Copies of this chain bind each other. A is one copy, B any other.
């Protein structure tokens, strides 16, 4: 059983989390777990509260780390202790995935140095002020570089998640999940209608 450790915080963006979770929940070999620094409930911008386990309960080794974005990334991007924990989890994980401004947290934690990454296109100048050696991609629905997968804003996370499942388990399995979700996929990592270019 592989743990998918989902990092939440106040002000996470619900669809950043729920799109990929909808995909990952169909992988019977994976166990989805929800974490925040101190555990307990965290609130998204749209007001609902999700229950989480504390960081201290996480066992990221060889697992999948998943980081959504949202307005809550703004204060966290300045929070040294929180970022140090994230860097440690990312180091131990087999795979590290982010959606939207989740990649800012990974960049601020220093783990994307030298890597290709993307993020929300509406916040591009803020995003690219982090991680001076990150190779920020202004035109990408998502990026893949080593063990890192980062997606563009909000909805792009679902496309990245399906592509990731396809990469690990074969395209037929990804396609079957997309059909169950009645989801019209964006299949190309390079096809980015929201590019800042």
Residues of A within 8 A of B (CB): 6, 13-15, 17-19, 21-22, 24-25, 32-34, 41, 45-51, 120-122, 152-156, 158, 179-184, 186, 193-194
Contact = CB atoms under 8 A, between A and B. Distances in A.
B46 A24 contact: yes
Contacts of A154: 22, 180-183
A54 B184 CA distance: 35
A124 to B, nearest CB: 12
A24 B186 CA distance: 23
A17 B19 CA distance: 10
Nearest to A6: B48
A95 to B, nearest CB: 18
A33 B47 CA distance: 8
Contacts of A120: 182
Contact of A34 (B48, B51, B156, B184): B48
Contacts of A22: 13-15, 46, 154
A48 B155 CA distance: 19
A179 to B, nearest CB: 7
A197 to B, nearest CB: 14
Nearest to A31: B47
Nearest to A122: B180
A126 B88 CA distance: 48
Among A17, A152, A180, A184: residue with most chain B CB under 10 A: A184
